[in-house]
Structure 1
């Protein structure tokens, strides 16, 4: 069920991304959608394990994936990727 929901969310986000947005915004939306799908899969794996330590580890990994995806999407929206302004080069 979660996989179907994640696929639906990704499809919806991609549909919205195609509506009058810049290529940079579309790329940022794709980053968010992809990392959200990965995080959802990690959480589903956590739900399916019987080991508490493994479950906690998978949940932490899902949180880290979401945070990384959000940071990358924000960076895509606010920095010029062609000139690498975010890293000072």
Structure 2
């Protein structure tokens, strides 16, 4: 759920910045598409980082549990 919220916020922020530019007549579809693609890539990178952090936390938990199990013997 937090991944979809992150993606929504990044996309909304990037589109808001693109919409507030002072030279609206100079904006082209290609520029807008590039901004959306960049925002999408940034959101995907953020989601991957969050997933990696979750995996690292799980690995740390597993390591701690293994140490506790070996100490109990």
Give the TM-score normalised by the residue count of structure 2.
Answer: 0.46
Give the TM-score normalised by the residue count of structure 1.
Answer: 0.41
The structure whose residues are more often helix, as a share, is 2
* Relative contact order, higher structure (CA 8 A, sep 6+): 2
- Structure with higher Rg: it is 2
